[in-house]
Structure 1
Amino acid sequence: MALKPYFSRLLARRSQQSYHRSTFTLPSTSALPRFSSSSLLRPNPRPRHLSLPSFLSRRSYVKPAWTPSEKDEIVFLTQSLIKRKMLAIESASTASSEVREADVENLRSEIGALSKALEEVLQAEKSHQETEEMSQTDPDPELRSLASSDLPSLLTSLEKAQAVLRDLVLSQHPSPTAHLNLAPIIIDFTPGEGGPDSCLWIANLLKIYEKEFVKEGWKWKVVNERWTTITGSAAGTFGLKECSVEVFDPKAGRRGDGEVGVYGRFKWETGVHRLQMISEADKAGRIMTSAAVVYVLPTGPLVSDDVEEDVLDMKDVRIDLLKASGPGGQHVNKTESAVRLVHLPTNITVNMQDSRSQPENKSAAIVILRSRLMDLRRQARNDAIQAQRKSSIRGTSKSDRIRTYNHQQGRVTDHRINLSVGLPSVEQGGIGLETIHMGLEERDEDDRLKDLREELEAEVD
């Protein structure tokens, strides 16, 4: 899958580096950063902030003009949608007067918006073509110069008109999780294959995510973590056997419906993340492969009208009080401050020992359990529409990976869209991770357009 032109143009504006799948230049291995024990123990370095707006404002960037095939596709979908709505108006005549009036009003409004947007695209395209032809063929040099100077503004107008029409068409086939774009999330980390290296990889993957949270202005806190010493490595190196992080946007209430928020951005992280680097746990310094499993859970409403539905009945939960384990002084292994919740109908288990207070551990565990149950309900509702969502994690082995972080080659490759970006840009909070997210979002939009076309063609048949 090749990068579309507007991605190349956007990245050229935002960074001096360019990332391409086929022409990626690998840096020397001596210049590559490497995770070490000291990097886990010192505070996070100040991330490099972008000079342009964050991911939440990225919709304001205008995509280049469509290719002929893209134009034909959008025009076909627009005309088919208009025909569908006109037929719906005719069928509404048999309904009750109140229903008919409301339905017809909405349908006519949608037809008007689609027709107007399509007309503006065709008119802008015609003006651009005529001006471009004049700039090349007009015998008057002054007119050719004037036409050439008008081309950039006309191209911008065309691109904006096309973006409006594309968004209108996509709104007719929204994503099943569109209403959760601004929802806060809980990110669960668990080790995959790779032994102790996978625990170390979780700790460093969390550091990568934290830089993204800081860059976007989001708040987060670790609600559950279990550390372990990496045996056979340098002294003082620790990894995470499991970890849960709660992330939210304090400005989410002021965001628009079309903006991409915490879940809209990080839903793409669900899956197996594979790391290839010189192992910290191997005394011979060999290149090892390890995996970390990331599971992103939205903690927002179950339904699109923002009505909360409590899916957790504490009568179905068994509460076990345990002694905390691990480092912690006199408190650990002496008081029953750790809490384990077992949801009996689903057998979902949550362990929490992050706090010394038993009530705090219980409250945090309930939040995670409720989020998992909400996600289970949401997954069941959307299974027929979008089976590839969280069920896309087929397993926790390295062969099930969605992304590879290769230190020796200095690249991060997302296998779902076959896109590679520079590893330093991902590790240091640059534009690497958001570039991958943009590519995945583009693929999702293309899939939705394809599904819409199949739906419209099926109606004709």
Structure 2
Amino acid sequence: MRLGKVGKLQKKWSYDEVKALLSDPDPEIRSMAQEDEPALSSEVVTFVKETLPALLIPPSTTLHYTALVEIKAGVGGDESALFAEELLRLYSRFAAARGWYCAIVSQNNHDRGGIKDAILDVKGDGAYDAMHWENGVHRVQRIPATESQGRVHTSTASVMVFPVAPKTGPELEEDIVDEKDVRTDVMRASGAGGQHVNKTESAVRLVHNPTGITVFMQESRSQHSNRARAWEILRARLLARKLAEEADKKRAMRKGMIKGPDRSEKIRTYNFPQDRVTDHRVGMTLKNIEAFMEGDRLQNIHEALRRDHYAAELEDLLESATSA
């Protein structure tokens, strides 16, 4: 609260009052208004950019969904496998820092280090809404340890984030798939694991006949555990498909395109020689790539993406209102 000799200064000014008082004939009032104007202008900008969109745009329907994050090595051979493993560690640390439950569901290691693919289970309110921004192709540029000429190589890894619906509420996991549409095969597991792998039919494969989606799980020695995990992954993939179809229908009904994650799009570049990470969707570049890979700054990009998404949705709502 700002106090002064004049009675009308004996309260905190609003933005409109300050704008009016900037031309007040009293020089003392003008001076005080000039002092308050920058801070109030900043508050207005913050309200318009962050608070107003959240009030106007309907709340997320997937707020309570958890996430299954699938990471696959892409172009680049050994280097892409190493990068995929670094992304797995990045997401694990990011989730842990938020107090979310985080566990590796499956992991297929590369012969010369890194991983071919892995699935990470992330549980916690807001987990899917946060992690779905990672959908897409991630590109890394750096000099591999085996590069004798000092040349920078470019490799990629792909990330797919699948939603897992809560077990209670309006939309249950069980509502996503009819078990009669799924073929179940059991077989012996393959790969490292000793005598058990070759003698026990613990591996489970699920095939969803209407879509052709296939899930194979052999991580556990228990067929029951593998079956449960396979069903969880199948339901998550089918739910992701359903949400994507609903989003496509909404886009088709509108003139504007609401920005969102695209699994086939190169969304981010990790340039180690230049010590920077660039998210191409919002044109945001962060320095200190080492800190970023520790999970400390991923939230900064997510917040920028969320603001961009809100702005696009708000613009679409305004266009719909004016054309109605």
TM-score by length of 1: 0.59
Asked if 1:424 is matched to 2:310, the reply is no
Shift of 1:312: 1.9
Moved more, 440-449 or 382-391: 382-391
Deviating 4+ runs (over 3 angstroms): 130-134, 137-140, 143-165, 280-286, 386-391
What amino acid is the match of 1:375? A
- Specify the alignment match of 2:9 in structure 1: none
Asked if 1:318 is matched to 2:200, the reply is no
Asked if 1:166 is matched to 2:52, the reply is yes
Shift of 1:294: 0.5
Q: 1:150 to 1:324 in 2, by over 3 A?
A: same
Shift of 1:293: 0.7
CA deviation digits over 1:345-403, x for unaligned, max 9?
Answer: 11111111111111111111110001111121222222122487778233xxxxx4111
Q: 1:374 to 1:125 in 2, by over 3 A?
A: same
Task: Give the Cα–Cα distance (whole angstroms) in 2 for the partners of residues 263 and 353 of structure 1.
Answer: 25
Shift of 1:217: 1.2
Asked if 1:278 is matched to 2:138, the reply is no
Task: Give the Cα–Cα distance (whole angstroms) in 2 for the partners of residues 217 and 436 of structure 1.
Answer: 19
Shift of 1:145: 6.3
Q: 1:181 aligns with which of 63, 70, 78?
A: 63
Q: 1:206 aligns with which of 60, 73, 88?
A: 88
Task: Give the Cα–Cα distance (whole angstroms) in 2 for the partners of residues 190 and 164 of structure 1.
Answer: 34
Aligned positions, number: 305
Quote the RMSD (CA, aligned, Å). 3.0
Task: Give the Cα–Cα distance (whole angstroms) in 2 for the partners of residues 411 and 163 of structure 1.
Answer: 26
Asked if 1:139 is matched to 2:27, the reply is yes
Task: Give the Cα–Cα distance (whole angstroms) in 2 for the partners of residues 296 and 217 of structure 1.
Answer: 19
Task: Give the Cα–Cα distance (whole angstroms) in 2 for the partners of residues 168 and 272 of structure 1.
Answer: 29
Q: 1:240 aligns with which of 103, 115, 119?
A: 115
Q: Are the aligned partners of 1:181 and 1:265 in contact in 2 as well (CA < 8 Å)?
A: no
Where structure 2 has 5 or more consecutive residues not aligned to the other structure, the ranges are 1-12, 252-256
Q: 1:156 to 1:440 in 2, by over 3 A?
A: closer
Task: Give the Cα–Cα distance (whole angstroms) in 2 for the partners of residues 151 and 191 of structure 1.
Answer: 52
Q: Are the aligned partners of 1:323 and 1:336 in contact in 2 as well (CA < 8 Å)?
A: yes
Asked if 1:392 is matched to 2:289, the reply is no
Partner SS for 1:186? strand
What amino acid is the match of 1:126? D
Structure scoring higher RCO (CA < 8 A, sep ≥ 6) equals: 1
Shift of 1:150: 5.4
- Specify the alignment match of 2:106 in structure 1: 224
Asked if 1:437 is matched to 2:308, the reply is no
- Specify the alignment match of 1:256 in structure 2: none
Q: Are the aligned partners of 1:197 and 1:281 in contact in 2 as well (CA < 8 Å)?
A: no
Task: Give the Cα–Cα distance (whole angstroms) in 1 for the partners of residues 137 and 294 of structure 2.
Answer: 21
Q: After the TM superposition, which residues 81-160 of structure 1 pair with which residues of structure 2 at under 5 Å, given as runs? A: 124-133=14-23, 138-140=26-28, 147=33, 158=44
Q: 1:150 to 1:219 in 2, by over 3 A?
A: same
Partner SS for 1:193? coil
| Structure with more helix by fraction | 1
Q: Are the aligned partners of 1:197 and 1:280 in contact in 2 as well (CA < 8 Å)?
A: no
- Specify the alignment match of 2:5 in structure 1: none
Asked if 1:190 is matched to 2:72, the reply is yes
Partner SS for 1:127? helix
Give % identity: 36
What amino acid is the match of 1:139? P
CA deviation digits over 1:73-111, x for unaligned, max 9?
Answer: xxxxxxxxxxxxxxxxxxxxxxxxxxxxxxxxxxxxxxx
What amino acid is the match of 2:192? P
Q: 1:296 aligns with which of 151, 154, 161?
A: 161
Q: 1:131 to 1:265 in 2, by over 3 A?
A: farther
TM-score by length of 2: 0.82
Shift of 1:151: 5.3
Task: Give the Cα–Cα distance (whole angstroms) in 2 for the partners of residues 164 and 300 of structure 1.
Answer: 27
Partner SS for 2:308? helix
Partner SS for 1:333? helix
Q: 1:164 to 1:424 in 2, by over 3 A?
A: closer
Q: 1:130 to 1:424 in 2, by over 3 A?
A: farther
Where structure 1 has 5 or more consecutive residues not aligned to the other structure, the ranges are 1-122, 231-237, 253-260, 395-399
Shift of 1:279: 2.0
Q: Are the aligned partners of 1:273 and 1:294 in contact in 2 as well (CA < 8 Å)?
A: yes
